Structure 1
């Protein structure tokens, strides 16, 4: 590919951006010279089995707007090398431009490039078995329509959720007809604990996760060579109507066999790997192994930067090893919910072993170093994968990175403390930064030194001192601009899209301030209906500000007559707790309301007073309990500051308004995909 002049990058962007520096250009050249770019096997596999592409590149969003636009990344198809993109990342981003319908083997088909994930169709005796119906109903519906146009119309008879992340289930309403569901014509199959994990992971810290995701998925950056280029396991998550249908059958055994519409499947549960609830699937008659999201084209996250529980790389490696020895000798193809399939015993073994060893080495070598005293604050600069792993494309650090995943392993086993009492209960950055700035001789000296370091390409050293200055003087735009310059070049050099996106998102906010978070988005009604009352009440408890709840003491009985569920919610010691399956004889307030009407309260579609007047809700006791709850609930700021000085000065959160609509605070935020 011919090299593209740096200035040309501006043609693809909006807003202030700077070209790759000489140091970044040099760093990109090192990557081009050291990695095996002559290996084109992935490109051959990514296009193998191609049947057709649709005559559209955009998918409309229900209610107006665009759900998906594959043309956003067409700059990757121009055959140019961009010095503002790590060459390894550009290669991966180009591979993820596959778009259309593909045959994996006769009877198994995938539609790729309609969302972050692939949607898979298994041909049964009478209809389609759909695996992982994408993030939105719009993209899933478009995929189903397209395959039916090309291969003949067939009904959907079953849906399999491989795991509990939104880009693998939230588009289910696009492929499942409600009437067929009610008539029992469609099965929904998922791993054990699917519903709890699908909802809870994104509820309790939902506001923080959504904000952090805006950095790691580059939600506010343009699609361009100086902005968002890829999501490592796909391009990005689609926008639109997300929902959930609870499974009609959960897989609970380590290995469980099931025949659906004439198709025999063996499910392999893999809990604690890429998702807390996940499974692989073996199709013995087709000799096809489905790897869920446990095997993708690169290293995945052990720690997801948007925020999630740390995963277990040892268990991850172990489940891959089990699959290798159980299915590897018989499989003719290995395919997954992201990336592209691998065909042939030799290739399947190669990739499975490489991925197994990648996670095992990460786990074992990081602990090996930790046992020699390397700490969580050093490991990212010490751990290096073996050369043989670094030289394989399928073990490169894309979704995850060697650096942040290494820190995650130590956190999993030893926690965040590095053993130094100084870091056990550290001061906050805004408290320590002024001391550093003073000892360094003040702002002018720091600015001069930082500029010199930037000019030398020593961006991490520059950001170390500029970060202290920006915390001390958040209104110092010159400092923020220099810090943005350092972040920008580090983003251009990053191989992992997550790392790149975080650097470039911070760059934008340092220059322009926080924009685009004026209003919190909420989940679709279907997602809220899929959240249990217990989880909704627990989310309400998290929204309580203990400082405002001092001296509050009350008990609230809640009953759903239609589902026969009962709850006691108690405020004690400025803490809200809920227990399921009980009612309190001395409750201050009792509320009796059917589950659908309670969901309407949470969604803000109904007021409690109106439901009481209509006889749909019954209350007994002190309604002042709800006023107390309202007074203690916080309405989160969805665009809270991540970098100092990027928002107008104000409090971090504001009180929610309303009287008897306090249950709205239990409503979780919107979830856009994996993570």
Structure 2
């Protein structure tokens, strides 16, 4: 039996997730792309940039940057890339500059491309790891309740399966180099920050400041003596991802703007983001930060303005575009986030899914809507003809929309699949936003070739030990096959000999709940050690082999215990 473990999350909330063509991807072919998107790739030319004395940033080694701060007798690594292999490549480049030992690691936030290469720089417990007090919680959410869907959507967004030419870049970096063969190993933070921490490491005076924005746990690092600020992911050279199409909880854009004001107040001479290239010069930094935070506030405020007039998200999207002085900024081009996506997210963050139009309150089921649409078109074939005509006339979006109805009516029709694939490719070819472009092209391959964009990576030895057992158990309820348990009310106990921790899983008529402690009325109690159950939960072992190998014992009704475990989805 497998329960989900997500070893790579982008929001970890996600987390998140990947992009570097795989071995099964087709040969590259000439694919149209906007010139501006190709030009954008120059931001990610691979090199180590010396920002100022003792501050170096590795750009283009992966989706994110890794930053080295050189002190008197050691170095500090700020952000560690997305895989151990990429972390090793960065460390080798840094070692051409200095051989001073690593004195500390700092995570600016929990995203996978900033933490999962950490093992390349140090072993667990070898050096202090600094982060916000909530970062460990987010990293521990690698046992994720929405792992299958967030992985699939992330693979689409980052173009993991796309050949060069379809995927040009990933907006804030050349690619996110995670594949099925990657090793991902985050070190748990052991020095945490609440709102602010002033400290000295290797002779470097620095401040770690909580600055929620793209994530709730975001920190920036301020070096007052050098006038250098490491801004994390709250600014990079593209319009910010106020919402990401892979899916995350609401990003509080007002907090994001306020955090940029904190950075503006520093009057920094050097700004080093964790994506794209550093910015140098007090006035340039101040003006860029001002425009960036103003763009965020503009989208927020104008969305609320039109919300309060009763407009729907579709109507607001038509009305909210950046004013020219912001739209022309090279730091606000829509190569990662989009204004339109941000408008929808702000609306949803304040008012939820209902757009206010009573016709959308209880819409007809999809198939019923499709039948009505076909009737209006003159029948199913006429609807298909109109979709094909729309595509031939250059209206790929309308063709794709009509194909939604055809899909509902003809779910197994290859002609519909091919129509959708062609419409998606047409949309991808003219799309300058890498997230959207990659999503279109990947979805086209799903339609035409049956591509399954999801994948899982195997956890490296020792990594599961860094995660609390609570997460593995807490992931179970979201995978309960509720329809099979509507008449079931039973409890199963877990007791872990190595930690002396006990839990009770209760299945109660379609709902599963995990609580600490052992209930008295369990049908059975599973006795094992934490590493054994973690391996079972990760899909690396089965409960049956653990039973046979004396690593798992069931005290009580063994058949009932296995039956209860069988009520949960097996997730690869």
In structure 1, the partner of 2:36 is: 88
Q: In structure 1, which of residues 558, 567, 575 is the aligned counterpart of residue 511 of structure 2?
A: 575
Structure 2 CA distance for partners of 1:574 and 1:633, relative to 1, 3 Å: same
Residue 257 (str. 1) matches residue 194 (str. 2): no
Give the alignment's TM-score, normalised by structure 2: 0.89
> 1 CA distance for matches of 2:307 and 2:374?
33
Higher relative contact order (CA 8 A, sep 6+): 2
Deviation at 1:524, TM superposition (A): 4.2
Residue 434 (str. 1) matches residue 374 (str. 2): no
Structure 2 CA distance for partners of 1:163 and 1:624, relative to 1, 3 Å: same
> 2 CA distance for matches of 1:596 and 1:631?
21
1:106-148 deviation digits (Å, cap 9, x = unpaired)? 1011122111111111112222211111011111012112221
Q: Secondary structure at the match of 1:542?
A: helix
Question: Which shifted more, 156-165 or 555-564?
Answer: 555-564
Residue 593 (str. 1) matches residue 533 (str. 2): no
Please show how residues 302-317 of structure 1 align to structure 2 within 5 Å.
302-317=242-257
In structure 2, the partner of 1:624 is: 559
Question: Which shifted more, 504-513 or 392-401?
Answer: 504-513
Q: Secondary structure at the match of 1:378?
A: helix
Residue 470 (str. 1) matches residue 407 (str. 2): yes
Q: In structure 1, which of residues 394, 419, 428 is the aligned counterpart of residue 356 of structure 2?
A: 419
> 1 CA distance for matches of 2:390 and 2:540?
56
> 1 CA distance for matches of 2:560 and 2:211?
44
1:528-559 deviation digits (Å, cap 9, x = unpaired)? 43432222112111111101122222222323
Residue 165 (str. 1) matches residue 104 (str. 2): no
Give the alignment's TM-score, normalised by structure 1: 0.76
> 2 CA distance for matches of 1:488 and 1:162?
36
> 2 CA distance for matches of 1:476 and 1:352?
51
Q: Over aligned residue pairs, what C-alpha RMSD do you find? A: 2.6
Structure 2 CA distance for partners of 1:547 and 1:334, relative to 1, 3 Å: same
Deviation at 1:425, TM superposition (A): 3.3
Count of aligned positions? 547
- Unpaired segments of 5 or more residues in structure 2? 1-18
Does the CA contact (< 8 Å) of 1:130 and 1:160 recur in 2? yes
Structure 2 CA distance for partners of 1:555 and 1:156, relative to 1, 3 Å: same
Structure 2 CA distance for partners of 1:202 and 1:421, relative to 1, 3 Å: farther
> 1 CA distance for matches of 2:86 and 2:20?
7
> 2 CA distance for matches of 1:418 and 1:600?
44
Please show how residues 141-180 of structure 1 align to structure 2 within 5 Å.
141-148=88-95, 150-178=96-124
> 2 CA distance for matches of 1:562 and 1:309?
35
Deviation at 1:67, TM superposition (A): 8.2
Please show how residues 57-76 of structure 1 align to structure 2 within 5 Å.
none
In structure 2, the partner of 1:295 is: 235
Deviation at 1:617, TM superposition (A): 5.0
Does the CA contact (< 8 Å) of 2:183 and 2:458 recur in 1? no
1:329-387 deviation digits (Å, cap 9, x = unpaired)? 2x110011110111011110011111101111111111111111221233333321111
> 2 CA distance for matches of 1:556 and 1:595?
16
Deviation at 1:515, TM superposition (A): 4.5
Structure 2 CA distance for partners of 1:610 and 1:523, relative to 1, 3 Å: closer
Please show how residues 489-504 of structure 1 align to structure 2 within 5 Å.
489-504=426-441
Does the CA contact (< 8 Å) of 1:197 and 1:276 recur in 2? no
- Unpaired segments of 5 or more residues in structure 1? 1-65, 76-81, 639-675
1:67-97 deviation digits (Å, cap 9, x = unpaired)? 899xx9xx9xxxxxx982223322222322x
> 1 CA distance for matches of 2:318 and 2:463?
41
In structure 2, the partner of 1:274 is: 214
Does the CA contact (< 8 Å) of 1:291 and 1:335 recur in 2? yes
Deviation at 1:275, TM superposition (A): 1.5
Deviation at 1:623, TM superposition (A): 2.1
> 1 CA distance for matches of 2:452 and 2:401?
25
1:204-224 deviation digits (Å, cap 9, x = unpaired)? 111011111222112221111
> 2 CA distance for matches of 1:534 and 1:228?
38
Residue 219 (str. 1) matches residue 160 (str. 2): yes
Does the CA contact (< 8 Å) of 2:464 and 2:531 recur in 1? no
